[in-house]
Amino acid sequence: MSVITCVEDLRLLARKRVPRMFYDYADSGSWTESTYRANEQDFQRILLRQRVAVDIERRSVRSRMLGEEVAMPVALAPTGLTGMQHADGEILAARAAEAFGVPFTLSTMSICSIEDIAAHTRAPFWFQLYVMRDRGFIERLIERAKAARCSALMLTLDLQILGQRHKDLKNGLSAPPKPTVRNLLNLATKPRWVLGMARTPRRSFGNIVGHATGVTDLSSLSSWTSQQFDPSLSWKDVEWIKRQWGGKLIVKGVLDAEDARLAADSGADALIVSNHGGRQLDGAPSSIAALPAIVDAVGPRLEVWLDGGIRSGQDVFKALALGARGTLIGRAFLYGLGAMGEAGVTRCLELIRNELDLTMAFCGLDGVSRIDRRALVGEPGRAPA
């Protein structure tokens, strides 16, 4: 294996090692994938202001997110089916994040359960919640997150209905994969993945099977999930969840300045500018294009973070320069996980930290708190407020 020098190296290795349906699940968007591509491409249009002859000897990328000290202003985003990129994937990613000193977020639609993560880590983690029609199940999920010592609840707001993802439909996405001829032929080329899966009992949605009423196996799970995402979700529900949780609340999926103001009014402690990785509304603005207007609208009232398109420490730097106080990575760490397991997640975090540190140095800055719009050349375009 060649030397891993960037996240793209991890992506290429993951593509070789992860079964097609799960690689495509992670590395694709909805419809034409225009927003998915824009999330990355719009970062490239932002130019950095190089400075020289500045004392940069004592640099640090350490920061804080929601009052927690972090090794850098980056958290692992909630990603569904993480345990299908690599056996026990959520556990491995959580351990890598803990050792590195950044937050890990477990998805409702994870393979490993809340209890699995709590049993294999010592640091508090964050839990991401989808609102389902079965509010009793939601109440029980919140209680399980409390019992697992989760330090924040992340509520995703942009998946009341599912965006059409052509690759998932064509691949017949399921967890575990159905034993079709096409799937079996593909799995035969992924012996490392198959061996890992053979050694673990975790192959379905650990937070749901055996916990949701009437869901005892894969067939009942499929019908339950198709009926449970709640299109009636409103800001009143956000306020209800805040009361049920009683702790720090993060809302994810905000792209509009008015929605950001409503999020602040709802009692959220942080919001994440995100378009769900370009997997929901195709044709929506990239996350980085939407960020400045949202920061201007609500920045002092709550922490504004960015998710979507980050593949390097330079992308993190640019998000901070445009006003984000933190960032999240999803695909980037999934590439590392699929490529090399826990070591791959660690390598992804190392790459991003080193790139952030070097970019700060070239821009004449010695701390994350000093990164602002003055570190950019010109004024990047903005999405409408």
CATH number of the domain enclosing 340 = 3.20.20.70
Residue 30 counted as domain residue: yes
Select which of 86, 120, 211, 276 is catalytic. Answer: 276
Confidence of residue 89 (pLDDT cuts 50, 70, 90): very high
- Rounded mean pLDDT of the chain? 94
Residue 347 counted as domain residue: yes
| Helix, strand and coil in the chain, % to nearest 5 | 45, 15, 40
Residue 332 counted as domain residue: yes
Catalytic residue at 276? Answer: yes
Residue 215 counted as domain residue: yes
Residue 383 counted as domain residue: no
- pLDDT, average across residues 52-78: 97
Residue 121 counted as domain residue: yes
Residue 229 counted as domain residue: yes
Confidence of residue 380 (pLDDT cuts 50, 70, 90): low
What single string gives the DSSP state of each residue in 297-339? HHTTTSEEEEESS--SHHHHHHHHHTT-SEEEESHHHHHHHHH
What single string gives the DSSP state of each residue in 223-236? HHHHHHB-TT--HH
* Beta-strand runs (E) in 166-302: 248-254, 270-273
- pLDDT, average across residues 324-339: 98
Residue 267 counted as domain residue: yes
Sign, CA torsion 31/36/37/39: positive
Would you state the pLDDT for residue 225? 73
Would you state the pLDDT for residue 1? 56
φ, ψ dihedrals at 153, nearest 5°: -110, 130
Task: With residue 48 as reference, give the H or E element that holds it.
Answer: strand 47-48
Q: How many domains does the chain have?
A: 1
What is the per-residue pLDDT across 246-305, written as a single tens digit (0 to 9) for each? 999 999 999 999 999 999 999 999 999 999 999 999 999 999 999 999 999 998 999 999
Domain of 206 in residue numbering reads as: 7-371
Cis peptide before 176 (omega within 30 of 0): yes
Percent of the chain with pLDDT over 90: 86
Confidence of residue 176 (pLDDT cuts 50, 70, 90): confident
- Stated pTM of the model: 0.95
